[in-house]
Amino acid sequence: MSHHTETLVIGAGPAGLTAAYLLSKQGRSVTVLERDPAQVGGISRTVSHNGYLFDIGGHRFFSKSQAVVDLWDEILPNDFIERPRLSRIYYRGRYYAYPLKAFEALRNLGLLTSAACMASYFYARLRPVREPKTFHAWVRNQFGERLFSIFFKTYTEKVWGMSCDAISADWAAQRIKGLDLGSAIRDGIKRSLGLRKRARAGAPVIKTLIESFRYPRRGPGMMWEAAAAKIRGQGGKVLLDRGVDSLSFDAGTGIWTVAARRADGSRETFTARNVVSSAPVRELVDSIRPRPLSTFNARSLQYRDFLTVALIAKSQKNFPDNWIYIHDPSVQVGRVQNFRSWSPEMVPDADHTCLGLEYFCFEGDGLWSASDDELVALAKREIGQIGLIDPAEVVDACVVRQAKAYPVYDEEYAGHVATVRRELERDFPTLHLVGRNGMHKYNNQDHAMMTAMLTVENILCGQRRHDVWRVNEDAEYTEAGLSGAEAALGSERLVPRKVA
């Protein structure tokens, strides 16, 4: 059976659903194909287990783009709550506020270590690595070698499963841009003395230092379930259990033919004038027939996967953190989420707590392939070692695996992405890449949405008016005030390219 639509969207995550919502709102024909048989939302979905709700990775609803904030309010107008942002670092048996509180850090590290950190920082500022290419070199320039080894190396290598000398500096510049030891200490002293005031309207805010965020009261999945319902209400289609097998493009007619397979083995065919893909670049390119010349480059792109072990415990222990970063090398867990601190409605029993222990891994490795029972036993042992709850108090548990959670920024990734992008834009002008995996960019949820919003404008006007690859690429674009994205785009002098 064949179905025709003006625009076919691959993937029902934030980027894909944003594109479909905005197109259907304009009365355009749109169909979304999602591989998951039960849920939309991708990594931003909310998982339910015996009434307990789990956020996959933690998703703060904070954006410098007023257009994104307005869209959140339009899709989910009555279900946001304001939550305090609090996170800490656990390192060698001690907890450090994150962002830094200067006096607390001095007390925990001790005067000698603190003095060594400051000396290391000043040395790095006097003799920086010129044009740093690696994560190690970039962070060393901003914080000094000593603080890099304490607060960056162990955790980062847990997350990525590779040496900090093999990770591109692009990742650090994108994720913690605008922050160095000097700004962290100045902010930390103000926090320690209670002198930090609310930033004036329009003033730059370092995203790492924000103090509160909005959050759907029952998790981020609320947003994307509501978006899917509104798409259907506007005449669009959101089809689950459809994994894309192949795509082919007829340059003569300008029509795409897309084959999708369901879990039972049945196949469907779709035709469309535009394809918007938030699928991993590696998978997308491998599905195009005939295969592009850049297939080798796409296959060279890597991904990091992770799993969450949610422990439900009847415990009186309570802590206010949204999450705790585990920098200690003696345990495998990388981060612990406290779901009640995201929203009280995530945990239905007042005398229970629910913590999510996040383990970073590669699909198919020992952690990923371990049984649920083995993973729960590991999580209980490590949560006891950290001291957050007593393992004996755990009464229930749930394991959630998330493939391709993070696009890997290794030394070669940028060249591979550039090669793929050039070929796809040249040969397939109506194929649009959006979102985190769709562009192999470590975008946050709001960045992913912005790529979709600009792509919709490109489709509606029939031209590539906006360069979506600039989203989350430089500090001015994403960090220059509430409407930084729109302001940056407005200043661009892009030459429109006709895309049919």
Other CB atoms closer than 10 Å to residue 324's CB: what's the count? 23
Query: Which range among 195-209, 232-246, 479-493 shows the weakest confidence by mean pLDDT?
Result: 479-493
pLDDT at 480: 31
Grade residue 167 by pLDDT with cuts at 50, 70 and 90: very high
- Spatial distance between the Cα atoms of 488 and 238, rounded to a whole number of angstroms: 33
Across 257-267, average pLDDT? 96
Q: Is pLDDT above 60 for 488?
A: no
Pairing of strands 267-277, 255-261: antiparallel
pLDDT at 142: 87
More confident residue, 395 or 183: 395
Backbone conformation region of residue 434, classed left if phi is above 0, alpha if psi is from -120 to 50, else beta: beta
Residue pLDDT, tens place only, 7-44: 999 999 999 999 999 999 999 999 999 999 999 999 99
Q: Is pLDDT above 60 for 500?
A: no
Most confident range, picked from 136-145, 176-185, 368-377: 368-377
Tell me the DSSP string of 205-261.
--GGG--EEEEETT-THHHHHHHHHHHHHTT-EEE-S-EEEEEEEETTTTEEEEEEE
HSE value, Cβ hemisphere, 13 Å, CA-based, for 136: 14
Tell me the DSSP string of 293-351.
TTHHHHHT--EEEEEEEEEEE--------SEEEE--TTSS--EEEEHHHH-GGG---TT
Q: Phi then psi for 317, rounded to 5 degrees?
A: -70, 135
